[in-house]
Structure 1
Amino acid sequence: MKILVIGGTGLIGSKVVARLRAKGHDVVPASPSSGVNTLTGEGLDAAMAGVHTVVDLANSPSFAAEAVMHFFTTAGGNIAAAEKKAGVQHHVALSIVGTDRKPGNAYFAAKNAQEKLIRESGVPYTIVRATQFLEFTGGIADERGQGPEISVSTGGIQPIAAEDVADAVAEAVLEPPRKGYIEIAGPEANAMDELVRRFLRAKGDPRVVTGDPSAPYFGGVIGKDSLLPGPGAHLGKVSLDAWLAGQTPGAHA
């Protein structure tokens, strides 16, 4: 089976490409550096020739409200048009748990708009909604500042490792289209402030974390359950302790 992986050189994309190639599939990673630009449409038609399944893992280079909405709606429309022209049989997209709960976050709003485009495209689809990646924990901390003390939301979070995300996406590619959603999450839930506290401790970062229910998460205040998966979510295997140990030799939580 020929598979086009948009964003195939990124954190998740490179892992998905490797997994699918290991199973014997003809996998083509696509990115602007390879001449495929979803935002302008450049190279999409040629890249989709003979493709059975398209995996969309592309991400916006900017999280600013207008820019991120423009990216996901424009790129989503260009991808859908090229897929219909090429007769693509399955569209697999990576999204986020909680996009439909509208937590006041511009990025989530843009992903929600992308999902709507996918649902209405007419191309059979599977949307994999993942919780926050463990790999982005440092970004959560840094978004709250570099001072000696940072306030972090106490909202619930069940972060998942990139390895587990790649496994789930690759599995979705090889299954029939769901015409719906799969939710994936890490094996354990934490309050966000506790997650960041454990991460910084493992890294030897001296910043002190204070839990604050009103602290924003990339622009929006989240509730206790806003970012947690629903019942029946597929859980990854990599625990927070195991991930921390792998990031920093000798680290402990």
Structure 2
Amino acid sequence: MRIAVAGGTGQAGRMVVEQARAAGHDVVVIARSAGVDLSTGAGLDAALESVHTVIDVSNIQTISKTASVRFFETTTQNLLAAEQRCGVSHHVLLSIVGIDQVNWGYYQGKRRQEELVLAGPVPATVLRSTQFFEFTIQSLTAFPGPLAVVPWMRAQPVAAAEAATELVRLAEGPASGRVPELAGPEVLVMSSAVRQVAKFRGPHKVVVSVPWPSAAGRPMANRGLLPAAPGPRGTLRFAQWLSETAQRPAPQR
């Protein structure tokens, strides 16, 4: 099957590309570095030629509602329109558990993205996943300095590689609308997980946990980011992932 991965050079995208190729699929990477711009639509028609399924893991780093909604609305509309022109049969979207419960600016963009995909012209599947284990490393490396500030949040994180496996599996099947949510095998307090990464992998920083300073903070600290119903669960536990990750060189900031 010919599969296109939108955001195929990002953290999750690289894993989706790798696993789809390992499964024997012909994979097209949609990214600016590959000459395709989701924000303008440039290069999309050529990239989607003979593509059966698109897996969209494109992303933007922002906490702004305006920026998030603008990005996901524009890129999703461009992608869906090109898919319709090119005869793409299935659109698979990676989304996030809890976006209906936590009224955070970035999540409002993801909600808009889901709306467009589920009401769009191409049959779609939407997989909501909890945060990735890799979020703990991002929390330590996002900003320079000796401190890492982490919102007080309960989560049930999953390895990004296991999310990639589930996305490829869904891409191989029929469009199914919103499917059961993906999560990891255990509930963690995220700041505690980040402290473990700082201690055993680095960069070594003081981790400060604070409530998120908005109405989003309360559900984030309680069950707002946890799956609400049974669904697929990753098998890799955080301690095992950290042990494997700790053997790789830590980034220096």
Cα deviations across residues 153-182 of structure 1 (Å, max 9, x unaligned)?
Answer: 443111111111111111111111112233
Distance 1:24 1:192, change over 3 A: closer
State whether structure 2 residue 24 is matched by structure 1 residue 24: yes
Q: Residue 67 of structure 1 aligns with which residue?
A: 67
Give the distance between the partners of 1:147 and 1:25, measured in 2 at CA.
44
Match of 2:192 among 191, 194, 201: 194
Could you tell me how far 1:140 is from its partner in structure 2?
3.0
Equivalent residue runs for 1:90-101 within 5 Å: 90-101=90-101
Tell me by how many angstroms 1:207 deviates. Answer: 4.3
Structure 2 contact 68–108 (Cα < 8 Å) conserved: no
Q: How does 1:1-253 map to 2 (within 5 A)?
A: 1-101=1-101, 103-141=102-140, 146=145, 152-203=150-201, 207-209=205-207, 211-212=209-210, 214-216=211-213, 220-221=216-217, 222-249=220-247
TM superposition score normalised by structure 2? 0.87
How many Å separate the matches in 1 of 2:213 and 2:245? 26
After TM superposition, give the deviation of residue 50 of structure 1 in Å: 1.5
Q: Is the 8 A contact 1:127 1:181 kept in 2?
A: yes
Deviation at 1:11, TM superposition (A): 1.7
Instruction: Please tell me the root mean square deviation across aligned C-alpha atoms, in Å.
Output: 2.5
1:86-130: CA deviations, max 9, x gaps?
2211000111111122x2311111001100000110311111111
CA distance in 2 between counterparts of 1:32 and 1:105 reads 27
CA distance in 1, matches of 2:137, 2:24: 35
Secondary structure at the residue paired with 2:15? helix
Distance (whole Å) between structure 2 residues aligned to residue 211 and residue 230 of structure 1: 25
| Residue segments in structure 1 that go unaligned for 5+ positions in a row | none
Percent of residue pairs identical: 37
Task: Give the Cα separation in 1 of the matches to 2:106 and 2:121.
Answer: 24
Q: Deviations over 1:33-62 (max 9, x none)?
A: 111111001011121121111111111254
Q: Would you say how many aligned residue pairs link Structure 1 and Structure 2? A: 247
Q: Could you report, residue by residue, the CA deviation over 1:60-84 in whole angstroms, capped at 9, with x for unpaired residues?
A: 2544332222110000111111111
Contact 1:152 1:216 in 2 (8 A): no
Q: Supply the distance in 2 between the matched residues of 1:38 and 1:8 (Cα, whole angstroms).
A: 12
Instruction: Return the alpha-carbon distance in structure 2 between the equivalents of residues 192 and 239 of structure 1.
Output: 14
Spell out, residue by residue over 1:186-227, the C-alpha distance to the aligned partner (whole angstroms, 9 max, x if none).
111112232222222223566444555x3449x941231011
The verdict on how the C-alpha distance between 1:228 and 1:12 changes in structure 2, with shifts beyond 3 A counting, is same
Distance 1:94 1:247 in 2: 24
Residues 204 and 81 of structure 1: CA distance in aligned 2, closer, same or farther (over 3 Å):
closer
Structure 2: distance between partners of 1:152 and 1:13: 25
CA contact (8 A) 1:158 1:186 kept: yes
